[in-house]
């Protein structure tokens, strides 16, 4: 080989070595930064993880456990009553005014309005059938639609009965 070719190869290999050292240095610096900067956790992802790993139940043992179990049951009952639809009221008029009036005053979805001509055939089937249709939902032969619990899943069975009873008492 010629002298200038050897000189070129020597300088070229030095440049390649320097670039390799710089590359390795940048890789090490990037790895350091990756470890020092905390990863940002999405709030929705964090909520899903917390819901997924939350305990399903509790274990109660002995006399202390029995009282804790009774207190937990009482708290659950109170929470269910407080979170019930319309404050857990059993006033049929309040339930009708807040939920049922949208369909049963205008006849939307072929819902029977509050007059005897719409209700006499239904009353012949009995109150239990009316309660059942109000609780579970119903699609009539004429295509009329009653969604389960009037579309409000928060209603209790007693509230549904109160609303149905109020409607029947106020037929014109």
* 68-96 pLDDT tens trace: 778 887 777 666 555 567 767 788 888 88
C-alpha to C-alpha distance for 92 and 101, rounded to whole angstroms: 11
pLDDT at 1 (0 to 100): 66
- As given in the structure block, the two tokens for residue 96 are 């009708």
What global pTM score does this model have?
Answer: 0.51
pLDDT at 84 (0 to 100): 63
* Cα-based angle 95, 152, 138 (whole degrees, multiple of 5): 100
**Domain ranges in the chain?**
1-52, 85-169
Q: Do residues 163 and 91 touch, judged by C-beta distance below 8 A?
A: no
Q: Per-residue pLDDT tens for 50-62?
A: 888 888 777 767 6
CB burial readout 56-66, b (16+ within 10 A) else e: eeeeeeeeeee
HSE (side-chain half, CA atoms, 13 Å) at 50? 7
158 pLDDT tier (thresholds 50, 70, 90): confident
Query: Which of 23-27, 82-86, 113-117 is the least confident region?
Result: 82-86
85-169 placed in CATH 3.50.50.60: no
| Res. 17: pLDDT tops 60 | yes
Q: Torsion-angle region of residue 90: left (phi > 0), alpha (psi -120 to 50) or beta?
A: alpha
């Amino acid at each position: 080989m010629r002298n200038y070719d050897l000189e070129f190869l020597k300088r070229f290999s030095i440049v390649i070595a320097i670039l390799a050292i710089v590359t390795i240095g940048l890789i090490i610096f990037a790895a350091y930064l990756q470890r020092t900067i905390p990863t940002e956790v999405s709030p929705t992802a964090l909520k899903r993880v917390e819901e997924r790993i939350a305990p399903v139940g509790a274990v109660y043992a002995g006399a202390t456990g029995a009282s804790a179990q009774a207190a937990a049951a009482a708290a659950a009952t109170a929470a269910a009553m407080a979170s019930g639809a319309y404050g857990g009221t059993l006033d049929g008029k309040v339930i009708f005014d807040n939920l049922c009036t949208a369909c049963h005053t205008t006849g939307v979805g072929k819902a029977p309005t509050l007059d005897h001509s719409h209700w006499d055939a239904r009353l012949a089937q009995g109150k239990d059938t009316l309660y059942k249709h109000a609780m579970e939902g119903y699609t009539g032969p004429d295509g009329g639609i009653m969604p389960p619990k009037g579309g409000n899943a928060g209603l209790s069975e007693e509230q549904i009965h109160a609303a149905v009873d109020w409607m029947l008492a106020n037929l014109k």
